[in-house]
Structure 1
Amino acid sequence: MPARLRPADPALVAEALARVEAGTAERADLRLLTKHYLALLETRAPGRSVEVRVPPYAAVQVIEGVRHTRGTPPAVVETDAATWIELATGRLGWDAALDGARVQASGERTDLTPYLPLSAS
């Protein structure tokens, strides 16, 4: 079983978010924030029935239900880092992300609305 992600230091998160807001974020900022918010999602929605992917940075399995062990999971959510950060911080709503084709979600339990936002920042 893959190791769980760990939330980042709050000071580093704040600095990275400030760079995102200023439009000066670098790849390292996106990686830090993506992994941080995926770690928070793992805590908020424990389980292994839905795989949430934010390539190329990370993927986690969350939400209780039938456990996925091999091959392509039956339930997948995939998005880019910028969209994931906007969802996690509440700057973008789940329905708006789906309607704008910024998130692809297929399978049962892929509506992340009950778990978002992960942070008010």
Structure 2
Amino acid sequence: MVGVAARKPIDPVAVRAAVLAVAPWLLDDAAPEPTRSELAAAVRLSVRTLAQLAPGNSVEVRVPPFVAVQCIEGPRHTRGTPPNVVETDARTWLLLATGLAGYDDAVGAGRLSASGHRAPAIVDLLPIVPLDRQV
């Protein structure tokens, strides 16, 4: 029987480097937008770090078009639309992942969609790569 290959552990140094590459844009929305590859690396690595920190299948985190992962222990979802979904754009995700924005503020502003009672569980795992406004 062939099993599913385990995902390689995410290197925290690589995650931090990827996020720091886009930090000027996160800190100043007037700064030039990062390249698509820089943005993709920062989003993918930070979201996959979330999944590594909280393995499970009860919450799906989506940052289209870059990545979607399942995380947080709990009931496994296998078909159709999951009941617990967090979805946002790349910039909002990175602001959350760095602690430069708050989950409730992003939901309130309509920049983050969260469904299901388990979706807010990701808050306990944020920020993933803390930044302050002095970077």
Regarding TM over 0.5, the answer is: yes
C-alpha RMSD of matched pairs (Å) = 2.2
Within-5 A mapping of 1:91-106: 91-106=100-115
Query: Displacement, 1:107?
Result: 0.8
| Aligned position for 1:7 | 10
Structure 1 residue ranges without an equivalent (≥5)? none
2:89 is the alignment partner of 1:89: no
Aligned residues: 121
Q: Which runs of 4+ in 1 moved over 4 A?
A: 1-6, 18-21
2:78 is the alignment partner of 1:75: no
Listed one character per residue, the Cα deviations across residues 69-115 of structure 1 (whole Å, up to 9, x for unaligned) are: 12111111100000000000000011111111110000121002211
2:53 is the alignment partner of 1:44: yes
Query: Displacement, 1:43?
Result: 1.7
Within-5 A mapping of 1:55-66: 55-66=64-75
Structure 2 residue ranges without an equivalent (≥5)? none
2:131 is the alignment partner of 1:118: no
Larger Rg: 2
Query: Displacement, 1:3?
Result: 6.3
| Aligned position for 1:109 | 118
